[in-house]
Amino acid sequence: MSLRWAKVIVIASILAIPISYGVYADLSGENHFGQGLEHSLYRPVFWAVQFLAFSGLILSPCLKFQSERRQGLLMVLAVLAFLADEALSIMFIAVACFPD
């Protein structure tokens, strides 16, 4: 049984986004999202995880040979999945933890 790298990358990318928001919220101060992390190393790490998750979602359809139409559709769906994952993570983690 061969490992399906495209699926592994998609699942890891989708899971990485809420996990990074959760860690960011946990490391933040009590008043607002990101408080106390202005000059820390985690802020660039957070944005690197977001970029890698986006890249993983966008490039995963390119790992196997398929028609251009199907590959384009999967890439559009990947962008929509990324945006939905970001929106849900912001809504349920960043805003729920810091309602102000």
Structure tokens at 75: 């890439």
Mean pLDDT, rounded, for 17-21: 91
Residue 29, pLDDT above cutoff 70: yes
Report pLDDT for 50. Answer: 93
pLDDT grade for 31, boundaries at 50, 70 and 90 = confident
Name the domain count of the chain: 1
Q: How confident is the model at residue 64 (pLDDT cuts 50, 70, 90)?
A: confident
| pLDDT score for 1 | 41
According to DSSP, residue 61 is labeled G
Please spell the DSSP secondary structure of 4-54, one letter per residue. Answer: -HHHHHHHHHHHHHHHHHHHHHHHS-SSSTTTT-TTSSHHHHHHHHHHHHH
pLDDT value of position 100: 60
Residues in the chain: 100
Between the CA atoms of 7, 9, 85 and 71, what dihedral angle is there, to the nearest 10 degrees?
-60
pLDDT in tens, 74-99: 889 999 999 999 999 888 887 777 76
Q: What is the CA radius of gyration of the chain?
A: 16
Range of the domain at 93: 5-97
